[in-house]
């Protein structure tokens, strides 16, 4: 996956990498790569945890209630709150890491939809 989001004088390119499907972002301004802020998000069944590593290496964390009907709401509001508190522009983000336990919780608790797997011989 490769996507580029252009804004007035900066752009963010997202590229899917690695066996884990980790998505990284590279922030550019005026054609130069910015040494940026790193963001990690973990959406759990009860809480959404957000950690921001500022350019100076300082870690800042936030824990919010997960919004199961729309999980991105907690992420967006948590990031907006942290960025405002730290005076960090969203364009400064150079890497985003995302994890979730929602799928594994559904399997373990058997609360997801009934599913099946059909394969060919030798799969």
Residue 35 has what pLDDT? 63
* Structural domain boundaries in the chain: 2-109
**Digit-coded pLDDT (tens) for 34-74:** 568 999 999 988 899 999 998 888 889 999 999 888 888 99
Higher pLDDT, 103 or 80: 80
Count the alpha carbons within 13 Å of 9 in the hemisphere toward its beta carbon.
Answer: 4
Q: What b/e sequence results for 44-58 when a residue is b if at least 16 CB atoms lie within 10 Å of its CB, and e otherwise?
A: eeeebbbbbbeeeee
Higher pLDDT, 52 or 3: 52
Fold of 2-109: Nucleotidyltransferase; domain 5 (3.30.420)
Kindly state the DSSP code that residue 79 receives in the 8-state scheme: H
Residue 7 has what pLDDT? 40
Higher pLDDT, 107 or 18: 107
Q: DSSP H helical segments within 65-119, as ranges?
A: 72-86, 102-109
């Amino acid at each position: 996956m490769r996507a580029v989001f252009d804004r007035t004088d900066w752009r963010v390119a997202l590229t899917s990498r690695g066996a884990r499907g980790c998505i990284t972002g590279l922030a550019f301004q005026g054609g130069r790569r910015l040494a940026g802020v790193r963001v990690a998000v973990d959406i759990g069944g009860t809480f959404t945890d957000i950690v921001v590593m500022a350019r100076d290496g300082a870690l800042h964390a936030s824990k919010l209630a997960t919004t199961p009907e729309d999980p991105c709401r907690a992420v967006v509001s948590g990031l907006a709150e942290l960025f405002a508190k730290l005076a960090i522009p969203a364009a400064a983000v150079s890497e985003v890491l995302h994890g979730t336990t929602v799928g594994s919780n559904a399997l373990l608790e058997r609360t997801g939809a009934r599913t099946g797997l059909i394969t060919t011989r030798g799969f």
